[in-house]
Amino acid sequence: MDLGIRGRKAIVCAASQGLGKGCALALAIEGVDVVINARGEEALQATAAEIRAASGVRVIAVPADVTTAQGRAALLAACPAPDILVNNAGGPPIGDFRDWDESQWQKAVNDNMITPIMLIRAVLDGMIERRFGRIVNITSRSVKAPLPHLGLSNGARAGLTGFVGGLARQVAKHNVTINNLLPGAFATARQTDGLRKLAAKANQDYETYAKTQMAAVPANRFGDPDEFGKACAFLCSADSGYIVGQNLLVDGGSVNSII
């Protein structure tokens, strides 16, 4: 299937590994020039080289912290008129509500709500003028089914979801779409780190704990970042203009709901 986005330009935030990398790779394979970002330069340059080799498109690596105004400015300087924006950042820490003071709440809201909103604000008018834009926010299944140990994520991402739900419906008439992808459990560094902590809390070894978690997923496995990336590329495709303001679970069936 040709997604009709060859030659388009994308910014993919937080993309040296994991889900962001999956999205950048899938877009590049569809012929999209990508600007990718992460804080750690070495891993970012290695990922850029890997994506270039796999796709042949132009890949620009912008080492920066996307949760800062300077980091976002660097990304936008490298790609001032993106056709596609994939918002992503590191997720907040797991814990108990007593662990999180005001500054931790402010960080979670900054990183997982205000940061994507500021990037959307910066690129949206250009997309409207050019009558093409695809924005995908990587959020979490916790938006639909709150996870007790991920209260910071439940809260901050719900705020983003509410805001873009309204905005998506204001800009859809210009062929600019905003949708959210809600990952369940994917085999990434973040997920493995989190599981190790939860396994230690439950006094279990990681392998046993991870196996139990996988068995709780109807697909009986963790997701692969590459398949997540392909779902993202589809939402960015030329023919996806009628998919507006949606929250698509990519979770192997974990959230037990039909709507």
Task: Label each residue of the chain as H, E or C.
Answer: CCCCCCCCEEEECCCCCHHHHHHHHHHHHCCCEEEEEECCHHHHHHHHHHHHHHHCCCEEEEECCCCCHHHHHHHHHHCCCCCEEEECCCCCCCCCHHHCCHHHHHHHHHHHHHHHHHHHHHHHHHHHHHCCEEEEEECCHHHCCCCHHHHHHHHHHHHHHHHHHHHHHHHHHHCEEEEEEEECCECCHHHHHHHHHHHHHCCCCHHHHHHHHHHCCCCCCCECHHHHHHHHHHHCCHHHCCCCCCEEEECCCCCCCCC
Q: Is residue 17 within the footprint of ligand NAP (CB under 6 A)?
A: yes
Binding letters toward ligand NAP, positions 126-145, x by CB under 6 A: ------------x-x-----
Q: Which is nearer to ligand NAP, 171 or 186 (CB)?
A: 186
Minimum separation from the CB atom of position 83 to ligand NAP (A): 21
Report the residue from 8, 83, 91, 235 that binds ligand NAP according to the rule CB under 6 A: 91
Alpha-carbon span 43 to 47, nearest angstrom: 6
Q: Which of 48, 89, 156, 210 binds ligand NAP (CB under 6 A)?
A: 89
Minimum distance of ligand NAP from residue 205's CB (angstroms): 20
Task: Kindly state whether residue 65 participates in binding ligand NAP, applying the rule CB under 6 A.
Answer: yes
Q: Which is nearer to ligand NAP, 92 or 245 (CB)?
A: 92
Q: Which residues contact 27 (CB under 8 A, 6 or more apart)?
A: 5, 10, 12, 34, 84, 86, 229, 232, 233, 236
Footprint on residues 158-187 left by ligand NAP (CB under 6 A): 183, 185-186
What's the Rg (C-alpha) of the chain?
18
Q: Which 192-251 residues touch ligand NAP, going by CB under 6 A?
A: none
Nearest approach, Cβ of residue 32 and ligand NAP (Å): 18
Rounded least distance, CB 199 to ligand NAP, Å: 15
Among 40, 148, 218, 253, binds ligand NAP (CB under 6 A): 40
What's the min distance (Å) between Cβ of 186 and ligand NAP? Answer: 4
Shortest distance (Å) from residue 196 CB to ligand NAP? 13
Residue nearest to ligand NAP (CB): 91
**Is position 120 an interface residue for ligand NAP (rule: CB under 6 A)?**
no
Cross-strand pairs, 12: 36, 86
Q: Which is nearer to ligand NAP, 160 or 167 (CB)?
A: 160
**Nearest residue (CB) to ligand NAP, 171 versus 232:** 232
Binding residues (CB under 6 A) for ligand NAP: these are 14-20, 37-40, 43, 65-67, 88-91, 138, 140, 183, 185-186, 188-191
